[in-house]
Amino acid sequence: MKETLQKLLDAADIRVNGDRPWDIRVHDERLWRRAFLYGNNGLGDGYVDGWWDCRAIDEMLCRLLRVVRKRNRRPWRVVLPGYVHSLLVNLQSLRRAFQVGEHHYDIGNALYRAMLGEQMVYSCAYWQAGAGDLDQAQEDKLELVCRKLRLERGQRVLDIGCGWGSFCRYAAENHGVECVGLTVSKEQAAYARRHLEELPVEILLQDYREHQGQFDRIVSIGMFEHVGPRNYRTFMKVARRNLKPEGLFLLHTIGCNKPYLAARSWINRNIFPNGHIPAPRQVGKAMEGLFVAEDLHNFGPDYDRTLMAWYHNFRFAWPVLRNTRPQYTDRFYRMWTYYLLSCAAAFRARDLQLWQWVLSIPGRRGTYNRPALTP
């Protein structure tokens, strides 16, 4: 087992107990068996347990991902259990919809405020407009979304997966629209209602499948990753029934390069329960006959920089955060370190993408012209 993994590390130019930032330092020899049998689950759990360390986990994992991608295979012993489970259970059913809110988004607004910055935006920032810091890059992303949606004063906008209300606030303050935001997180809903009470914004603690209304525009930023393949078509039907005939729908989502078997990945087990990243054909199939794809924009590399900014904020704030909640233990710190840096590695290796789809209902009048992507 160790010999097999050593060859993989050699191919990625990663040395065991070397002195370069991306070299791995092994503290427990049981790591080799664990990583061999369980892949990234074993590697991630080994890091959380303190079995290995690395000064630049993001770069180390990026190098590994590039090698693994070339070999283009995953062991069935890792994939099969989760695949079988996904065939038997709708992991993103209405009954299970609030699990991710309870497990992930309700663990403390102070953590997210420290990590995400003033804008409280938990999705990819847009750095290509020349932003010098995270807050400006997130504001540039929100403005880009508004311009792509062609927002006009007085319009009604539905935000599916509104988070802490950052888009609703920005759109209401800067473009004069009314917003309805949906979230499955009690903490997010309470925060958004408290901070947006003087704006024409309504925040609902509600699953997207339960909402009925008519809107000039619909936006969903960083929520589609929680919908799941069994529900992609349903999600699109819900968006279609809530959108006026001349409206526009912007879908902002992480994407992968090809469909994958639904496995119980490290991220799903520890960070985002029931998550699933869509592939292009899955999004296309789900919208077929319901929407016209007016525009598709990929700025996945910007997520690498965003995640690294979140990690540095998290690391800087940790000495204060660790004393605010009992679950903020050293183990939690290692888990979130691995989460943020492994995700940055996946975007850097181009295993993951960030898409913004602009969709319209068939028969909409006129031509859609993408706005300038930089001021």
Q: What is the DSSP string of 55-91?
A: TTHHHHHHHHHHHHHHHT---HHHHHHHHHHHHHS-T
The torsion angles phi and psi of 220, rounded to 5 degrees, stand at -140, 110
- Candidates 54, 62, 146, 343; catalytic one: 343
Q: Report the C-alpha dihedral over residues 151, 154, 155, 158, rounded to 10 degrees.
A: 100
The torsion angles phi and psi of 181, rounded to 5 degrees, stand at -115, 135
CA distance 365 to 361: 10
CA distance 358 to 130: 23
Q: Report the C-alpha dihedral over residues 331, 165, 99, 212, rounded to 10 degrees.
A: -170
Active-site residue, 343 included? yes
Task: Find out whether 229 and 197 touch, Cβ atoms under 8 Å.
Answer: no
Q: How far is CA 356 from CA 252, 282, 284, 300, 306, in A?
A: 4, 15, 13, 10, 16
Closest CA to 133 of 123, 119, 144, 145: 119
* Amino acid of residue 6: Q
Report the run of H or E that residue 201 belongs to, with start and end.
strand 201-205
CA 24-30-32 angle, 5° bins = 55
Catalytic residues: 343
